[in-house]
Amino acid sequence: MITNQQAIEILHATVKNGGCTYDVNGSKIYDKQTGYGVAYGPQHSVQFNPNDHIHYRQWQWMLEALNMASVADFIGTWLDNGKLYIETSAVVPELADALEIAQRNEQLAIYSFADGMTINILPVEHVKS
């Protein structure tokens, strides 16, 4: 279970860094410089506007719902175009495996922890609206 303090930690890291990956099993922000973060797909996503005055209890509930709805070991968050995204995700060691998972789950990108950057997968015209 994700505690209120953990939810606050994730929120602060997301706002400070533009996103974060949280290790559910280790109960801490993922801080390794290896591997690739890849989401399980849009069916495991929550999106909301961070300016909507979300109460920390609501934030914690959303994280817990995602945590229980999946066998994911990680929760990824990021800010993009004024929206805050939350997804269940995996950290995989090999680029080829991350790309395969991303394509299977119709993801637009993966995240390289070693390079500290997003790797785009699909061209924007493939995005479903």
Break the chain into its structural domains and give their ranges. 4-126
DSSP class per residue in 58-75? HHHHHHHHHHHTS--SEE
pLDDT at 106: 87
Q: What is the pLDDT of residue 43?
A: 65
CA dist., res. 33 & res. 83, Å (int): 26
Amino acid at position 49, single letter: N
Structure tokens at 47: 């999106």
CB 23 within 8 A of CB 76: no
Q: pLDDT at position 128, please?
A: 42
What are the Cα distances from residue 88, in Å, to 18, 51, 52, 68?
A: 17, 22, 22, 10
**From the first residue on, what is the mean pLDDT of each consecutive set of 10 residues in the chain (129 residues)?**
80 88 88 92 70 72 71 83 84 95 90 93 53
Please state the pTM of the whole predicted model. 0.78
